[in-house]
Every structure is written in C-alpha cells, then in structure tokens.
Amino acid sequence: MRTNDNRTARAKREADKLFKQVDTTKTKQPSDYEMAQQSFQDNRERLKAERLAREAKSTGRRK
C-alpha cells in the first residue's frame, strides 16, 4: 500500500509541475474598452478636482 501512495503522490507532483496554473491577472492586458473606461474615469476625476478648486477659490474671494 505504501508504494502505491508514493507513486500516486509522485505522479500528482509531476502533473502539477506540467499543468501548473498561470496567474492571468498579471499577464492579462486590458482590453480597449477597459482602457477607455479608465481614461474616462481619470479625466472625470481631474475635471472634478479642477472644478472644486475653482469653486473654493471663487468662494474665498467673496468673503
């Protein structure tokens, strides 16, 4: 029984080496849609920050 367990374990280790999982999150390139969405979000945040800065500046002058 012991040798059969060893053979099974060895075969499993060898199979794991051959078929090891690839981490797709590191190698996956963003799609065109994802890049466009990220660009849109970045631009939106930039414009929002500029608007808030203008509003803070204009309210500061009134007082």
The arithmetic mean of pLDDT across residues 33-52, rounded, is 96
- Residue 22 CA to its chain's centroid (Å): 15
Sign for the pseudo-dihedral over CA of 42, 39, 35, 38: positive
This model's pTM is above 0.75 = no
| pLDDT surpassing 90 at residue 56 | yes
Please, are residues 38 and 30 in contact by the beta-carbon 8 Å criterion?
A: yes
Average pLDDT, the chain: 84
pLDDT at 6: 83
| pLDDT surpassing 90 at residue 55 | yes
pLDDT at 26: 66
